[in-house]
Amino acid sequence: MDPASPGTVVARFRDATAEDALAAVRAAATAAGPWAALPAARRATALTAVADLIEQRVDEIATLITREEGKPLGAARGEAGKSAEQFRLAAQLAYLVEGATYPQEAAATFAYTLRSPLGVVVAVTPWNFPLSLAARKIAPALAAGNAVVFKPSPVTAGVGAWLAGVAAEAGVPDGVLQLVQGQDPAAMRALVAAPEVAAISFTGSDAVGAVLRREANPRARLQLELGGHNAAVVCADADLDAAAAKVAGGAFDLTGQACTSTDRVLVAAAVADEFTERLAEKVRALRVGPGDRAGVTTGPVATAAQHERLTGLKESAVAAGARVVAEGSLDDDRDPAGWWVVPTLFADVPDGHPLVAGEVFGPYLTVVPVDSVEEALAVVNASSHGLVTAVHTRELAVAHRFAQRATCGIVKINDRTTGNGVAPPFGGWKASSGGAFPEGGRQALDFVTDTKTVYLHYGES
Ligand code: NAD
């Protein structure tokens, strides 16, 4: 469904049944062995070809992302570029499935490690980055020689099908990348509980993450990337113009629908009024409309449920005494039935209101004055979640101490909370993650391989 025009159906797929899901897992299990047995160079070539095809067809896939998910075309093209980069990095990872050698206490023995693929890896992804989050899971799993069962969000099923088609065209052999569509509860249970499933990499909500913890095959390795509750901290010495631009980007880009979006900005009280006014200017410049229209900065939210939840959240905050400091504008030439949510900057939100107490996942930002960096750190660290925090300051020592002490998986210094590279680890702390394996980069191989230690006795003594 096009969120800018919800009557328009973009693509139709049949919901997989439990039988379909099990058949996909079995077919993947059959395909995994021959794929793992190929030389690394063959897997690397196929993964490079996926990257090339994504780049060659960037217009086609960006248009589909915008039509299904709603983000502006420029952001969709950026996502496609990032996805190609994930596959390029994974092509290198195919050569980096390395072991180590170890000296021994005993004479004439020698130990070394081998890394083996796990077999079948299930990748379950949300709708907010339908291509790049899928790429971040699928590409390293394939690089190491695993087969993958890919379960995209039903909201962006077309993007999921597109990626599976491109992989086949690029030379990923039949069966190695399976696609399971829909969200039928029996199918989901069958998929995650299947005995052949060795690992499940999931990105999505805390609620579904909890279901997976209960229902997944207990022997399957879990990688759960869950919700965020992210703050930006603006110190009194910060470059306020630069900070306002970065904080607005982190809060409102992608209509606030990133797990790394900024929910609240903790501002040194001494500069709070001045900073809030600069931020308000940025918010007033935002224009909400269809993602394929020139001049539109902010697309619709992706689903009717998001629209209803966010509309209610604003009403309840205002009823509780929150002050609307600034709002963006709506494009005149839009389908009124679209799932539009106007970017809004709030202040004076009562403590404990859901607008400041948990993940917002929409284009709302709240200003909260604080008296010191210590107070900001205490507020950040009190959150149950710990994905990403930004700190804006010109003082290197303040920035570094903040980075050391913040209880979250990612710290951004003088930057947006959103956005991440393909090489560094990506993962949250506390309730933002489950499983000990971050995604991203070289360390992604840890999740998709098993280590075997080989002791070699080569003499009589
Ligand atoms: P969601 O949890 O509703 O869905 C995520 C995926 O899980 C979808 O593919 C969905 O079909 C599938 N699913 C639903 N029920 C399932 C079940 N019982 N068993 C197996 N799979 C099931 O999340 P969403 O609404 O698509 O995405 C929004 C959430 O994702 C937000 O909370 C956001 O913070 C989080 N997110 C986290 C990260 C991160 O890296 N930490 C990144 C992006 C989004």
Determine the average pLDDT of the residues in 100-108: 92
Written as one letter, the residue type at 327 is: E
Tell whether 177 and 305 lie within a shared domain: no
The answer to whether residue 2 sits within a structural domain is no
Residues 163 and 121 in one domain: yes
State the chain's mean pLDDT as an integer: 97
CA distance linking residue 384 with residue 6, whole number of Å: 35
pLDDT band at 154 (very low <50, low <70, confident <90, very high): very high
Q: Indicate the helix (H) or strand (E) that contains 331.
A: none
Is 171 part of a structural domain of the chain?
yes
Instruction: Kindly state whether residue 212 falls inside one of the protein's structural domains.
Output: yes
- Judge whether residue 435 has pLDDT over 90: no
Q: Are residues 213 and 247 in the same domain?
A: no
Question: Where in the sequence is the domain holding 409, given as residue range(s)?
Answer: 230-413
pLDDT digits (tens, 9 = 90+) for 381-425: 999 999 999 999 999 999 999 999 999 999 999 999 999 999 999
Report if residue 388 sits inside a domain: yes
170 and 236 in one domain?
no
Please state whether beta strands 344-347 and 385-386 pair in parallel, antiparallel, or not at all (unpaired).
Answer: unpaired
Whether residue 112 is predicted with pLDDT greater than 90 in this model: the reply is yes
Residues 6+ apart with CB under 8 A from 295: 287, 289, 331
Ligand 1 center from residue 206 Cα (angstroms)? 8
Query: Which residues does a 6 A CB cutoff place in the pocket of ligand 1?
Result: 124-128, 151-154, 183, 188, 192, 203-205, 208, 211, 225-228, 259, 359, 361, 387, 428, 432
In angstroms, the CA 179 to CA 167 distance is 11
What are the backbone dihedrals phi and psi of residue 90, each rounded to the nearest 5 degrees, phi first?
-65, -35
* Residue 272 shares a structural domain with residue 374: yes
Query: Can you tell me which atom of ligand 1 is nearest the CA of 185?
Result: 18
Mean pLDDT along residues 283-290: 98
Q: Are residues 170 and 275 in the same domain?
A: no
Percent of the chain exceeding pLDDT 90 equals 97
Q: What is the CATH number of the domain that holds 83?
A: 3.40.605.10
Do 70 and 206 lie in one domain? The reply is yes
Predicted local confidence at residue 269, as pLDDT? 98
Token pair 């949300």 is found at 126
pLDDT of residue 285: 98
Ligand 1 pocket test target in 82, 191, 208 with most atoms within 8 Å of CB: 208
Domain containing residue 308: CATH number: 3.40.309.10
205 and 182 part of one domain: yes
Residues 189 and 238 occupy one common structural domain? no
Would you state the pLDDT for residue 461?
A: 54
Same domain for 300 and 331, yes or no, is yes
**Averaged pLDDT, 162-177:** 98
- What are 322-370's pLDDT values in tens digits? 999 999 999 998 999 999 999 999 999 999 999 999 999 999 999 999 9
Residue 461 inside a domain? The answer is no
Give the H/E segment covering residue 393: none
pLDDT above 70 covers what percent of the chain?
A: 100
Tens of pLDDT, residues 123-152: 999 999 999 999 999 999 999 999 999 999
Residue nearest to atom 31 of ligand 1 (CA): 205
Number of domains the chain is built from: 2
Residue 309 shares a structural domain with residue 321: yes
Residue partners of 435: CB distance under 8 A and separation at least 6: 221, 222, 223, 224, 447
Domain contains 333 = yes
